[in-house]
Amino acid sequence: MMCCLQELYGKTVISVETGAEIGFVCDIEADTCTGAVAAIKVQLCGGSMFKKSEKVRIPWEDIEVIGSAAVLVRNVEAPLKPKQGGGIAGLFGK
């Protein structure tokens, strides 16, 4: 399957092993000598609005499938989901 780099941006990234959503494609790393894509950068799910979201680098070799709606990857653990119920009220104590 051929696709433009622009088509990868924003696609959901899912772990093949667990089926969990890891995040979405936010950048691409290319080897300027060979012109090959070396890795994708993924914005992790589960960040809060006050904390800068983390990114993870996934080597091109760990990409299993690039579909029309998602990218399936292996050897990547999904981030932990934040605890429920904290919200803004949790910032000020009880």
Q: List, as own/partner pairs, every contact residues 42-50 make where C-beta atoms lie below 8 angstroms and the sequence separation is at least 24, other chains included.
A: 42/13, 42/76, 44/79, 45/21, 45/78, 45/79, 45/81, 46/79, 46/80, 46/81, 46/82, 48/82
In tens digits, what is the pLDDT along the chain, a chain of 94 residues? 667 878 899 999 999 999 999 999 999 999 999 989 899 999 998 765 556 678 999 999 999 999 989 999 999 876 665 545 555 555 555 4
Q: Tell me, what's the pLDDT at 49?
A: 56
Q: Tell me, what's the pLDDT at 76?
A: 84
Kindly report the pTM of this predicted structure: 0.75
